[in-house]
Chain A
Amino acid sequence: MHLRRRGGYNVPLAGRPSAEIEALPEPAALYLPLASRRFRFSEVLAADGEAVEAGWVLARDPGHFGVPLLAPRAGTIRLGAAEGHIVLEALKAPGGARPGEEIADKRRRLLDLGAWQHFEDAHTGALPDPAGEPAGVIVSTVRLEPFGVRGDAILRNNLDAFGRGLEQLQSLLQYQPIYLVMPLLESALAEEVRESLRGHAFLQIVTVPLVYPMDGFGLLARRLGLKTDAEHRVWAVRTEGVLAADRALGASRPVLERVIAIGGPAAKQPRHLRAVAGYPIEAIRSGEAAEGARLIADGVLTGAAVEASARGLDAECTGLVALEEPKPRRQLLGWIRPGWGRQSYSRTFLSALRRTFPEAIPAAMRGEARACISCGQCEEVCPSRLMPHIIHKYLYAGAIDDAERLGVSRCTRCGLCAYVCPSKIELMEEFARAEEQLAEERRHAAEAAAAAGREAAQ
């Protein structure tokens, strides 16, 4: 099956990570953040001064089915040494992570050994219920946002494990389909992957064009026509998650390492790194990024800036992008320069006459905020076929119901509308806030309905 392109745009950001995967030097201590993008590890199980083995559960997130925070190395626990972190000192050399005690329930094992965190609900990005029955599973080997971990970098030496992981996944399901998302391109690796998976009849291969965000899970789930309800969600997982599933279910070993991509114009050497949760951010900052660069975690379009208070890599980080802060000197008459070296989604710069090239785009707005001029670029670039400019006008006027009618809930947060907006309107942020408000309203409505139901019953 092939999905055709709809909207989308590849941001020509310089610093694409090479496919090399290198190991980071062993750190002196690990700073494990108690919060990550989705999780809050509020239930701390480790005690101060305790010596732990690699793979032990240090904390859990009670709000997310008890997702564990695992000790990536053997060492000694320090609580309270760094605000919001568990510090692991006196680290022992890696290796020897013992197989955890055998947990009979496969899904429990997936969760407790740290593999389940690689899964997400295709529509919401939240952690799905490991005990639930999915409506389908989407496995993606494609990563189009600059810059996440490239599927090819990981797959290269792990084809066997990938195949085993897929089989493990399939063993969790009853009859639901597994869609394997592959790039639409001819390469030796793609051919090899196809070849190695030829026997897997349960897999349905879906090819997508290499245009961001055609790999977006929400978009894929909708376009594959997967029907969902509250109980039957669509599970989505990337290459790393399949390998993690193989490790947890096949070898019963905890998933302690992950591969992260480091890229962007201010990255010294854009490539992939083998890292563990809690790896000191400072060490990465000084070793991998240029002086004064800003680090963005999990993709430059949808991720979040690494805050100054963060001491270590969080357990979910998939990549870091190093961006240059805007230079203190402003450009004279910058808006009217020919722009041979400045690329734009529009064709208003001379670079429209050249082929695209990697560009060192700074972390700047590159223009002033203005009222919407209805240029229609956001509508054109939107992969979900929304009309962001009209939704924006409704939200600006406080007409959130009208925004809902126009499908603001279908926004997959790819960020392209805000990227291309010449009026520099924060469309994605605005839509996210509207969606939160709508979710709140729905919750209230449901509660009110339930209360009314109880009253009627009495």
Chain B
Amino acid sequence: MRMLEDLFDRLRPRFGRRPLGFFKPLFDATNNFFFWPKTPTRVAPYIRDPLDVKRYMSMVIVAMAPALVAGVYLFGLRVLVLVLVSYAVGGAVEVAFACLRKEEINEGFLVTGLVFPLILPPGIPIWIAAMGIALGVIIGKELFGGTGRNLFNAALVGRCIVTLGYPKEMARWIEPASRWPGRLLEYATAPAVDAVTAATPLAAAKNSQFADLGSLFWGNVQGSVGETSAACILAGGLLLVFVRVVNWRTTVSILGSFATLGLLLGAIVPGRFGPVGWHMLAGGLLFGAVFMATDPVTGPTTNTAKVIYGILIGAAVLLIRNLTVYVEGMTFAILLGNIAAPALDEAVIRWRARRLRLEA
């Protein structure tokens, strides 16, 4: 390992000048990936917490691992191909923009690159997935100035684009494995027919056919790669809340508002709204509430605004799912929340500033 470190140290000056200088962000990212930087502190405080953005983001990836494993088990090795393609294409876009901007490569793409395949139907053509992540990262993130400045969740922008552009391909669900060892050794493809033969639980629910709760909980239903297994998502969510990488307020308020409003409206207009408990396990609600709405960049930054943001998303999902032609509403709900987030923040900040003035 000393050899590798020495190699990096020898190469470093070369990336400080032409012709390799253009790739300096890539070199720095690789170097710092392998070897933790040892910059001395310059000003007080002279000691720092060991948490850095790499570790912070890696926690999200660790938390998504159960959902990914469940996806591979249920839908086969094709899922891994999707993940690899997403990382390769999304990473290439990120590196290219970082080099052009002469900025450091941000770890955020490690999360985006994994989230994206997990919210795709497992049978989607690979090229559509590749295009989706590329467009999502470029339009959703890089055009806004990169990680930290984007308004919308890049993975959701990508998904939104391919959903609108390729509705048929976005319905290529794969029948989940039902017996051990699942599809761990299988490269399953969707039936080549375009017809949606077997619907996802949410689509079936529109015809009043409800999958049983056990299947929804463990995940052997049709759906996007990572969203079907409530158990695995909850495990990841608990980890994220424990390590305090996601703010529990967002997740809890989404689920809380969904449940409260669902029960309330269900009581007022009987028959129009699906069973709340069932709905909470079905579709992308949990996955979105745990892994996507909690994205600190595209969500609001103040705690109060986080709660309002969650309530907004939860209510939007409920209304979209039950009152519109769409069977799933999480993508739109979170994007809607993203739009509202800056305004919510501004309102909370103004309120806080006024209180500060009163206190002073």
Contact = CB atoms under 8 A, between A and B. Distances in A.
A390 B50 CA distance: 22
Interface in B122-140: none
B50 A342 contact: yes
Contacts of B36: 330-331, 333-335, 366-367
Nearest to A394: B349
B325 interface: no
A373 B104 contact: no
B356 A374 contact: no
B243 A330 contact: no
A34 to B, nearest CB: 23
A323 B46 contact: yes
B303 interface: yes
B247 interface: yes
Contacts, number: 205
Interface residues of chain B: helix, strand, loop or mixed (majority): loop
A362 B49 CA distance: 10
Nearest to B306: A376
A347 B44 contact: no
Given A296-B46, A373-B53, A410-B356, 8 more contacts: A300-B47, A325-B40, A346-B243, A365-B39, A365-B40, A376-B301, A407-B353, A422-B51
Contacts of B16: none
A329 B49 contact: no
Contacts of B281: none
21 contacts: A327-B38, A332-B5, A345-B51, A346-B56, A346-B244, A363-B41, A364-B39, A367-B36, A370-B106, A370-B107, A371-B147, A373-B53, A373-B108, A374-B297, A374-B301, A406-B353, A407-B360, A416-B45, A418-B48, A420-B49, A421-B49
A441 to B, nearest CB: 18
B52 A367 contact: yes
A375 B243 contact: no
Nearest to B38: A326
Nearest to A347: B243
Interface of B: 1-2, 5, 32-56, 58-59, 104, 106-108, 146-149, 242-245, 247, 296-297, 299, 301-303, 345, 349, 352-353, 356, 360
Interface string A46-58: 0000000000000
A270 interface: no
A387 B302 contact: yes
Contact of A367 (B34, B37, B299): B37
A336 B37 contact: no
Given A348-B56, A407-B356, A419-B45, A373 B247 contact: no
B59 to A, nearest CB: 5
B243 A352 contact: yes
Interface centre among A11, A343, A352, A365 (most CB of B within 10 A): A365
A207 to B, nearest CB: 23
Contact of B52 (A303, A352, A371, A422): A422
Contacts of B353: 405-407
Interface string A410-435: 10000110111111101011000000
Interface string A347-368: 1110010000000011111111
Interface centre among A296, A321, A374, A379 (most CB of B within 10 A): A374
A280 B296 CA distance: 50
B55 A348 contact: yes
Contact of A415 (B45, B149, B302): B45
Given A332-B34, A407-B356, A419 B47 contact: yes
B335 to A, nearest CB: 18
A348 B245 contact: yes
Interface centre among A328, A333, A366 (most CB of B within 10 A): A366
Nearest to B301: A374
B356 A305 contact: no
A13 B35 contact: no
A348 B243 contact: yes
Contacts of B297: 373-374
A372 interface: yes
A294 B49 contact: no
A85 to B, nearest CB: 24
A302 B53 CA distance: 24
A439 interface: no
Given A371-B149, A390-B302, A405-B353, A302 B44 contact: yes
Given A370-B53, A373-B296, A363 B148 contact: no
Nearest to A381: B49
A345 B56 CA distance: 12
Interface centre among A349, A387, A419 (most CB of B within 10 A): A387
A390 to B, nearest CB: 6
A323 B47 CA distance: 9
A244 B258 CA distance: 64
A330 B1 CA distance: 10
Contacts of B349: 387, 390, 406
A321 B46 CA distance: 10
A421 to B, nearest CB: 8
A25 to B, nearest CB: 28
A328 B108 CA distance: 28
A422 B38 contact: no
Given A373-B56, A422-B52, A301 B356 contact: no
Contacts of B52: 335, 366-368, 370, 422-424
Contacts of B299: 374
A28 interface: no
Contact of B352 (A304, A335, A366, A387): A387
Contact of A371 (B42, B148, B352): B148
Given A329-B5, A333-B34, A426-B43, A346 B51 contact: yes
Contact of A364 (B2, B38, B245): B38
A303 B41 CA distance: 13
B301 A390 contact: yes
A250 interface: no
Interface in A284-311: 294, 296, 300-305
Contacts of A390: 301-302, 345, 349
Contacts of A410: 356, 360
A300 B147 contact: no
A259 B78 CA distance: 69
Contacts of B243: 346-348, 352
A59 B106 CA distance: 54
A335 B55 contact: yes
Contact of B47 (A332, A363, A367, A375): A363
B300 to A, nearest CB: 9
B48 A367 contact: yes
Contacts of B46: 294, 296, 300-301, 303, 305, 321, 323, 363
A365 B49 contact: no
Contact of A301 (B44, B56, B147): B44
Contacts of A407: 353, 356, 360
Nearest to B5: A330
